Amino acid sequence: MFRLLRALINPAGGLRYHLRAMLYSPVLWRGFRKNIGAWLERWNPPEHRLIIIGQSGGYILNKTFLSRFQHIIAVDPDLLAALIFAARFRRTCQHITIVTEDFFITPEYSVAPLQDFLAKYGAAAVLLSNFLGQIPFLITDDERRRQLILFWHTHLVHLLAGRNWASFHDRYSSNQRPTQWRTLQTECRCSAETLIRYFYGKNAGGTFIDHETEGYFPNILFYEYSVWQLTPRNYHLIEAVYGEKSGQRTQ
């Protein structure tokens, strides 16, 4: 019961996120969903299994993409998200496995739980579905937050080595409306200054929340950036990147 309650009041998801999805997904999220759908279409791993970390009910994912895989392993500690994902895609996917274990926050600086989990599904591509940018909001202690994010900055890419992987995640968020909505594609990771200037112009002001995702992946991969209008007054700058088994740049 405690676990269910914690999932429902999760500050980075939970009931609040699902209510937002119900209200805003049909209209406000449409453009971002289209951008991510196009980006995922260009990511073409040959595996028949896909691990989705942070599936969050799958509101941003589409049936065309998911139908490419015979087996979906959907990971999210949010039990409500698990039920919603299964209900939305049960006719799309041949086989869905729901996993509600937390591999990132509660293991206390240990790669072993995630490493063992990935080994269990050795022949699987991995998609981190708007998850990494939520980690800072799941930890209340400032020092523990700093240490844990640094820990995963160091270890995550090594755990994904030898796999086809992809991630889209928050870089920054703000209550200011962007002046530029066109997707930005670059051959290396954008700096904060470049990213904000592109979407907000040279005279961008106000407060931008750093989701502390710069540094998870190598600088020289092919990156794509887009805007997600989460609510009428909340805008997120999303970074998307994927890599091949070889570790070389993918375009």
pLDDT (0 to 100) of residue 107: 85
Helix (H) or strand (E) holding 225: strand 223-231
Q: What is the mean pLDDT of each run of 10 residues along the chain (251 residues)?
A: 47 78 96 97 95 96 96 94 94 94 91 96 95 94 95 96 96 96 96 95 87 94 97 97 62 37
Give the separation between CA 16 and CA 7, rounded to whole angstroms.
10
* Per-domain boundaries in the chain: 2-243
Name the architecture of domain 2-243: 3-Layer(aba) Sandwich (3.40)
Supply φ then ψ for residue 27, to 5 degrees: -115, -60
Q: C-alpha distances in angstroms, 104 versus 5, 28, 121, 228?
A: 19, 30, 18, 24
| pLDDT at site 249 | 38
Q: Decide: 114 and 138 in contact? Cβ < 8 Å.
A: no
Buried b (16+ CB within 10 A) or exposed e, 6-15: ebeebebbbe
**Half-sphere exposure of residue 127, counting CA atoms within 13 Å on the CB side?**
28
Write down the pTM of the prediction: 0.92
CA atoms within 13 A on the CB side of 141: 5
